[in-house]
Amino acid sequence: MSKYEKYAGSYDTWNWPQAVVLVRIMNDEGQSGIGWSEDGVEAASSIITRHFTRLLLGAEAAQIELLWDQMFRASIPYGRKGAAIEAISAVDLALWDLKGKALGQPVYSLLGGPVVANPMAYASHLQPVPMDLFVREAVDYVKQGYKAMKMRMPGNPTHGARGISANIERVAAVRDAVGDEIDLMVDAYMGWDLAFALRMAAALEPFHIRWIEEPLLPDEVGAFTELRRKSPIAIATGEHEFTHYGFKQLIDSGAADILQPDVHRVGGITAARRVCAMASAAGLEVVPHVFSGPTAHLVCSHTVCPLIEHLTIPVWAKNTEGFKPFILGEPTVVKGRAILSNQPGFGIKINSERLPHLAHWNA
């Protein structure tokens, strides 16, 4: 939306309300699992309550693959991407959480066991705030033990050469502040076009950038392919892609070096592990979008996942008094590594202080 002056200043001017759909699935033994996905416009919740319940109620909860396929096929007339797959994601995660609890095992054990117990996390924030705060934030991440960090880019094609200069100024400042041993990534959040992305890739080469993330609209697969072929820097994309079918197109087209499925969008753990399998066969890395318990379980159980994204709170904005997460038991990050528990399922529960009407879900 940055190409439109009316919406270029703030994400909040055009974004949907920040909300999620929470799903709880119970079995006959009274055990339950919890899953969630984005649902600011209440589309996913409507799909679940008005459609998927007829497929799920009375079904065998352990048949996760079967239920995923049935939900996907039944929703094809209005689905295949977007809200319908986000609805499937929430249900799928609840089923995996339930399976882990029923078997007394963390989900990462059900996925083959941990490849690395505490995956390396990268700090993901560095918005285009005033430069002194920007650099202060980057330096603080190094002090906290992060070995990698990602920054957002203020310049886009509407700014022309001035936009490229603004982006490079930010990158140069961070590289100078953190040194050469820290991995740096840049995120354009779909705000560039092919010509601008090619110019940016060339300009960024001296700064040893690990990847350029989502420079183009997700459906511009052909442009992604050309960019990847010509760019001296690895190209990452996929947070707005859906199901293994969508990622197969990216892989077959040679459109990306790094795939970034979001387990809360792509179709849950069931779809995300399919993406990991395809990436392994193609020699690609998978660095999932966003930080959550389900994401951490996926990352720690797959050899193709070298990093997990951690959505950090900047040192200059750490006043979080009064903030209450809706989920408790999510992994923490200590010295740049995600610390997972060995609790059954995803090891999570509802925060009854934040959502008192759902406190009974923890029974």
Q: What number of H helices and E strands is found in the chain?
A: 12, 14
Query: What are the CB-based long-range contacts (under 8 Å, 24+) for 175-183?
Result: 175/207, 175/208, 177/135, 177/138, 177/139, 178/138, 178/139, 178/141, 178/142, 178/149, 179/142, 180/208, 181/147, 182/142, 182/146, 182/147, 182/148, 182/149, 183/122, 183/147, 183/148, 183/149, 183/210
Query: Residue 285 carries which DSSP code?
Result: E
Establish whether 289 is a catalytic residue.
Answer: yes
Produce one character per residue of 24-51: b if its CB has 16 or more CB atoms within 10 Å, e if not.
Answer: bbebeeebbbbbbbbbeeebbbebbeeb
Q: Which of 244, 289, 297, 310 is catalytic?
A: 289
Tokens of 193: 């076009």
Write down the residue that tokens 């090891």 correspond to: 347
CA–CA distance, 357 with 335 (Å, rounded to integer): 36
> Of 8, 89, 135, which is closest to residue 81 (Cα–Cα)?
89
CA 257 to chain centre: 16
Catalytic residue IDs:
289
